[in-house]
Amino acid sequence: MLGVAVDDTYWVLPPTRALWLPAGVVHRTGATRDAVLCSLYFEPDRCPLDWTEPTAVRVDGLLAHLIAYLDREELADEARLRAEAVVMDLLRPLPATPIDVPPAVDERVRAVTDMLLADPADPRSLDAYARAVGVSRRTLTRLFAQDTGMSFDRWRTHMRLRAALPLLAEGQPVSRVARTVGYATPSAFLTAFRRTVGTSPTRYLRGEVAFEGD
Fold of 107-206: Arc Repressor Mutant, subunit A (1.10.10)
- HSE at residue 179, side-chain half, CA atoms within 13 A, is 4
Per domain, the residue ranges of the chain are 2-90, 107-206
Q: What are phi and psi of 110, to 5 degrees?
A: -60, -35
Q: Encode pLDDT of 117-171 as tens digits.
A: 999 999 999 999 999 999 999 999 999 999 999 999 999 999 999 899 888 877 8
pLDDT above 90 as % of the chain:
49
pLDDT of residue 211: 38
